Structure 1
Amino acid sequence: MGVINETRKAVSDARNFGWRFLSGRWAAKGSRDVIALPVRHYGHVFVRPANTDIETLRDVLAGRSYDFSFPAQLGDRVNSFYHSILSAGRKPVIIDAGANIGAASLWFRRLFPEAHIVAIEPDADNGRVLKENIGGLPNCTILNAAIGSTSGFAAVRDGEGDDSGWAKQTERATSGVPIVTMAEAIATVDDGTALIVKIDIEGFESDLFQANLDWLDDVRVVIIEPHDWMKPGEGTSFSFQRAMAAHSFELFIRGENLIYVRLQPDRKNASSR
């Protein structure tokens, strides 16, 4: 079964990313260095072959885990929000909280080329690869920080039994990486208006949604991966469930992600009658 699965992955990689990606991956298999692989539509993307980075590319870029194209009305609504922000002379802001190596940032940048991406990643090694992928791109800001409800500091640790790049967890501490609030992250962009906030922070969403939630009054789309499965009994999703229920969002589910999309004003008014 292992050979069959690897063959299926190889065929899928070639179809989604191109044959040059596949040959580069094979040549560097098991390498602990950071290498650049050519990815169709995205140019060269930096990964650590011995880490989970290639799985991240498969999930985000090939699996389209942040795709808004279905149902069609969803994509139309998000695009309408994007263009209305631009028409108002503002800058659409996309927050990539838990940015990892920047796969989601690259995906959103291709969809919304005039938006400004703020990628937030607390882990230093992930941040090193993130910088290679988007650090030199226009309209991209990297914050080596955690994101939470109030400022402070966080310690970064591996998930239980896992030292891969996509399972880094944060917890409040007296020192470590700084914690920025959502308002502070959005405010790094002059004339910015929050279009999309993507949150994949391995359970720390329980902290993020505890306080200072004014940003939910303006943001158009919130994408969050809940982690109750990771920390059963801790109720890590309770705070964001309460927060989202208090606002006029519709909920869509795509894979592991919950996608909350604000109702357009006319629909919101109609639903309240």
Structure 2
Amino acid sequence: MNRLYRLIAKVPNYVRAFGFWRGLQLLFSSESRLLRKHDSLLECRLPGYPNSVFLRNTVSDHAIFWQCLVTQQYRLEKFSQSARVFESYRSKLANNQRPVILDCGGNIGLSSLYLANMFPEATIVVVEPDKENFSLLEKNLAGLGGAVLPVWGAVWSEGGYVNIKNPQAGSSAFQVGKGEVQVENTVPAYTVEDLCRRAGVDSPFIIKIDIEGAQGELFSRNCEWVEDCHLIMIELDDWVLPWQGTSRSFFSCVSQYPFDYILSGETLFCFHDKNIQGAA
């Protein structure tokens, strides 16, 4: 009975995101699949998206689908500050500049898919360290063609290599860090500047960060790009990594610039106030 109540509670979100009939179809197909054992991918055809979305039969994939595409946790229109972001986006396009969005911690690609739908003329550079996630990410983003640049690896404060510290964790909880080289768990590390260069720019227009505590290292140095970034969307992990201080370098860095901060769900939205004299 409790499961039925939870299912009914999800109906408004699915209907709001995909329309009445298609929303109900997607709700029941995805939820019923979790009750059965299936090794094949679930294919979801979504209104307004260029190609199907594929999900494994895991709680993690379905949770990410719920967060990114159903409840739309990265929807900016709900914030007054977003008007300036869209104005800057249109201004860049008018000046023949292609805005670049970095998706750090891309998982299976659904956050990138949503952001590409919101900013259809931007270039999306998406980074993901887990090979199985990355394979599905490429499949889910194939319909975007050259507008997306998938990168297997991790974002870090310097280039080189890092290790996946918890390879037995669920597919949405992998953590990376420096340590002894273990070939099977070692991935390339890239700075934000490295990733931007792949798209031909010096800094990201928008960056989304969901990297399971690695933001502590990311914001410890080589953060000049923050000055030119219009929006940072980040998930902080102090609640799951107590007393490790993974958020401290982030706040030390961004406090130097004029940001507005809005916490919505699990994401902290940091809007750079470009109207303040001296702001980049």
Tell me the TM-score normalized by structure 2.
0.87
Give the equivalent residue in structure 2 for 1:68.
76
The answer as to whether partners of 2:108 and 2:133 remain within 8 angstroms in 1 is yes
Say which of 206, 212, 232 aligns to 1:202: 212
Tell me, in whole angstroms, the C-alpha distance in 1 between the residues paired with 2:222 and 2:278: 29
Give the equivalent residue in structure 2 for 1:34.
41
Tell me, in whole angstroms, the C-alpha distance in 2 between the residues paired with 1:89 and 1:10: 42
Give the equivalent residue in structure 2 for 1:79.
86
Structure 1 position 57 matched with structure 2 position 83: no
Deviation at 1:25, TM superposition (A): 2.5
Tell me, in whole angstroms, the C-alpha distance in 2 between the residues paired with 1:270 and 1:93: 23
Tell me, in whole angstroms, the C-alpha distance in 2 between the residues paired with 1:26 and 1:230: 27
The answer as to whether partners of 1:52 and 1:165 remain within 8 angstroms in 2 is yes
Change (3 A) 1:21 1:152: same
Q: Which amino acid aligns with 1:179?
A: A
Q: Which amino acid aligns with 1:96?
A: D
Give the equivalent residue in structure 2 for 1:184.
194
Say which of 122, 142, 147 aligns to 2:150: 142
Instruction: Structure 1: give runs of 5+ residues left out of the alignment.
Output: none
Q: Which amino acid aligns with 1:6?
A: L
Q: Which amino acid aligns with 2:140?
A: N
Give the equivalent residue in structure 1 for 2:222.
212
Instruction: Structure 2: give runs of 5+ residues left out of the alignment.
Output: none
Equivalent residue of 2:81, what SS?
A: helix
**Cα-to-partner distance string for 1:138-163 (whole Å, 9 max, x where unaligned):** 2100000000001121222448xx74
Equivalent residue of 1:173, what SS?
A: coil
Give the equivalent residue in structure 1 for 2:177.
171
Between the two proteins, what is the percent identity of the paired residues? 28
**Cα-to-partner distance string for 1:104-146 (whole Å, 9 max, x where unaligned):** 1111111110000001000111111101111352210000000
The answer as to whether partners of 1:146 and 1:177 remain within 8 angstroms in 2 is yes
Structure 1 position 222 matched with structure 2 position 232: yes
**Cα-to-partner distance string for 1:49-96 (whole Å, 9 max, x where unaligned):** 22411111111122221111123x322111011112222322100000
Structure 1 position 6 matched with structure 2 position 7: yes
Tell me, in whole angstroms, the C-alpha distance in 2 between the residues paired with 1:241 and 1:181: 19
Change (3 A) 1:230 1:254: same
Tell me the TM-score normalized by structure 1.
0.89
Change (3 A) 1:158 1:40: farther
Give the equivalent residue in structure 2 for 1:235.
245
Tell me, in whole angstroms, the C-alpha distance in 2 between the residues paired with 1:12 and 1:97: 26
What CA RMSD, in Å, does the superposition of the two structures yield over aligned residues? 2.2
Deviation at 1:33, TM superposition (A): 2.9
Deviation at 1:12, TM superposition (A): 4.4
